[in-house]
Amino acid sequence: MQALLDWLDGLLADNSIFTLQTLSYYGDGLVTTVQLVFLSLIIGLVMAVPLAIGRSSRRGVIKWPIFLYTYVFRGTPLLVQLYLIYYGVVFVEGIQESWLWPIVKEPFVPALVAFTLNTAAYTTEIFRGAIKATPKGEIEAARAYGMSPMLALRRIVIPSAFRRALPAYGNEVIFMLHASAIASVVTLMDLTGAARFIYARFYAPFDAFLFVAAIYLCLTFTVLYFFRFLEKRLMAHLKPLN
């Protein structure tokens, strides 16, 4: 490890901006960005599945509140949602005295909440579309087998909807990765936050932002290829034979 660090140090010896220290800022930023995106995507996904089922329900009491939620969160900028939660949380009655305060006052949590609510809204609509597109024959076949509606949902509708939703969900993951850059606006040191810090310190916009753009590009391609691989695996039964 020490040898590796020495080697890196030697490599960067003539570089006044990219020293080990600034690289460590980028490293910490990378960790924060990945954590933020990963956590919000996982929680958003878990929220979106029941919401999508409710959104496809015939009952207005269930359907319309979910529609309102997705409409508002998809129709307004994520930045506004982030500001609302980040600046608004202080004014929730009694929160400053509660045990939640030490957790909530860090910018990470409001950012996580805003991102989660946002991605859950988009994912709900993606899944709703996929559920709606279930071929009628599949549901009829399940009924004919004597499956209850719940069982048919669990065994037939949801697995097949998951597969259909995969390409659109891959786009949503990339969208979230890019949207996470705005976390730096509420003082979170994510990748973009690190780039802004280094820009401000060295007044070197090209170095600071091009480097971080390259990191984002690599992350985007990783996500893209991961989803392509998943699609290939999960859709293998739909591929033409030759």
Residues that bind another protein (CB under 8 A): 71-72, 75-81, 83-84, 87-88, 91, 174, 177-182, 184-185, 192, 195-196, 199, 205-206, 209-210, 212-213, 216-217, 220-221
- What minimum distance in Å lies between the beta carbon of 168 and another protein? 12
The type of residue at 116 is T
CB atoms within 10 A of CB 164: 18
Between residues 173 and 195, which has the closer beta carbon with respect to another protein?
195
Cα–chain center distance at 237:
28
- What minimum distance in Å lies between the beta carbon of 153 and another protein? 29
Between residues 67 and 199, which has the closer beta carbon with respect to another protein?
199
Q: Are 48 and 59 in contact (CB under 8 A)?
A: no
Scan for tokens 């010896």, then name that residue. 13
Structure tokens given for 57: 């329900």
- What minimum distance in Å lies between the beta carbon of 89 and another protein? 9
CB atoms within 10 A of CB 56: 21
Alpha carbons 189 and 148: distance in angstroms, whole number: 50
Between residues 71 and 145, which has the closer beta carbon with respect to another protein?
71
Alpha carbons 168 and 66: distance in angstroms, whole number: 20
- What minimum distance in Å lies between the beta carbon of 220 and another protein? 4
Between residues 32 and 81, which has the closer beta carbon with respect to another protein?
81
Please give the backbone phi and psi of residue 13, each rounded to the nearest 5 degrees, phi first: -60, -40
- What minimum distance in Å lies between the beta carbon of 97 and another protein? 18
Between residues 95 and 174, which has the closer beta carbon with respect to another protein?
174
Q: What's the angle, vertex CA 68, arms to CA 66 and CA 73, rounded to 5? A: 100
| C-alpha torsion 186→187→193→194, nearest 10 | -170
Between residues 33 and 152, which has the closer beta carbon with respect to another protein?
33
Closest-CA residue to 70 (of 54, 92, 86): 54
- What minimum distance in Å lies between the beta carbon of 145 and another protein? 34
